[in-house]
Amino acid sequence: MPRLKYKFNPSTLNFERISYEFRDYLLSALKYLFAGLVIGAIGVVLYASFFKDPATAQLEREVKFLKKQIRDFHYQLDTLEQFAGDLQDKDDNVYRSIFGSEPYPEHMRIGGVGGRDRYRDMRGFSSSEQLIETKRRIEQLQRGMVAQSKSFEEVFEMAKAQDQMLQSIPAIQPVSNKDLKRIASGFGVRVHPIYRIAKMHTGLDFTADVGTEIYATGNGVVSLVENKFSGYGYHVIIDHGYGYQTLYAHMSKMAVRPGDRVSRGQVIGYVGNTGTSTGPHLHYEVVKNGEKVDPAFYFYSDITPAQYEDLLQRAANANQSFD
């Protein structure tokens, strides 16, 4: 049986029975429902705060992990950028300076990356700026490494050219020390053995027995092989490139032909007494950029410093040439 409810009426000073309509029951039900929903929502929030579901917890762990990875990538990029900077500094100020080359152009290292926003698809997220900055730095490193690789290719080519030049410059004696009797005449004004007058002697005279081997003093191409009964007699000229030529005169026999490529130390002929000569010897000349220079300054690859000093003294003391 439903419980009856009464309320006091001050006008009549009597308790009167309360009558309920359907609307009253509906409002009461809605009130209880709303209160239940509010309490339920509060409970869900409190539960979510203290007790996360496995999927949410996993996502939060992944987000934390990815943020840590981004920080680690930045530390690694710092190291790589420092390493790339050191390489660039050595390239510009050490390797290239050795060969007298200008630093690699800065605009080639930076490169151009114009056009539309290449990071548009990465925007709109909480970590967008960090990710975009990371990608920018990686791309800059990639461009820098490509440019550095090209620069090193140039340095390598310069080194090869330098090595070829060093192999080509006259640098040894044309007659071995074991076969050499003495240097009869040095570079400078000397008394001509036939005309008996002071005359410029444009080379060095090495006295040795007829048939002694004569060596090319640097890599090059034979540009002249000539047989004459006066002057230089049987003689060979080698073009070494880089402005250098050498001449080997008064040979008894020649072992090369025009156009032959020769290497330093290769036998190109034999000591003789041909042409205008007063005894078996080799007349040797070095020509640099069209000017004949003292060959004594180009013997540094096969003799000791003491031998070099002795050679200079003997060349300076000789006052009469053999040709």
For residue 247, the domain's CATH number is 2.70.70.10
| Same-domain status, 207 and 295 | yes
| Same-domain status, 187 and 210 | yes
Q: Taking residues 106-123, what's their average pLDDT?
A: 69
195 lies in some domain: yes
> What letter represents residue 129's amino acid?
E
| Same-domain status, 192 and 296 | yes
pLDDT of res. 317: 56
| Same-domain status, 223 and 288 | yes
C-beta separation of 262 from 219 below 8 A: yes
> What letter represents residue 1's amino acid?
M
| Same-domain status, 228 and 300 | yes
Question: pTM, whole model, 2 decimals?
Answer: 0.55
Helix, coil or strand: residue 322: coil
Six token digits for residue 85: 């900077």
pLDDT of res. 155: 83
Q: What is the extent of the structural domain holding 259?
A: 182-317
Tell me the pLDDT band of 6, cut-offs 50, 70 and 90: low
Element (H, E) at 307: helix 305-317
Between the alpha carbon of residue 116 and those of residues 32, 113, 120, the distances in Å are 59, 9, 9
> What letter represents residue 9's amino acid?
N
Residues above pLDDT 90, as percent of the chain = 24
| Same-domain status, 246 and 132 | no
Residues above pLDDT 70, as percent of the chain = 73
Look up tokens 């710092």; give the residue.
78
The C-alpha atoms of residue 286 and residue 60 are separated, in whole angstroms, by 81
* pLDDT digits 0-9 by tens, 141-187: 888 888 888 888 888 888 788 888 888 989 898 998 776 766 666 66
C-beta separation of 170 from 243 below 8 A: no
* pLDDT digits 0-9 by tens, 8-34: 667 766 666 666 666 766 777 778 787
> What letter represents residue 170's amino acid?
P
| Same-domain status, 247 and 296 | yes
176 lies in some domain: no
Q: Taking residues 40-53, what's their average pLDDT?
A: 69
292 lies in some domain: yes
Q: Phi-psi bin for 160: left (phi > 0), alpha (psi -120 to 50), beta?
A: alpha
| Same-domain status, 107 and 191 | no
137 lies in some domain: yes
- Structurally, how many domains does the chain consist of? 2
| Same-domain status, 224 and 140 | no
Six token digits for residue 273: 């007494």
21 lies in some domain: no
What DSSP designation does 95 have? I
* pLDDT digits 0-9 by tens, 245-287: 999 999 999 999 999 999 999 999 999 999 988 889 999 999 9
92 lies in some domain: yes
Helix, coil or strand: residue 216: coil
- Give the domain-ending residue among 144, 168, 192: 168
106 lies in some domain: yes
| Same-domain status, 132 and 209 | no
The C-alpha atoms of residue 200 and residue 221 are separated, in whole angstroms, by 28
Query: For the chain, what is the radius of gyration of the CA atoms?
Result: 48
Q: Which of 295, 291, 276 is nearest to 232 (CA)?
A: 276
The C-alpha atoms of residue 274 and residue 320 are separated, in whole angstroms, by 18
CA 228 to chain centroid, in Å, comes to 51
Six token digits for residue 114: 């114009």
212 lies in some domain: yes
pLDDT of res. 213: 96
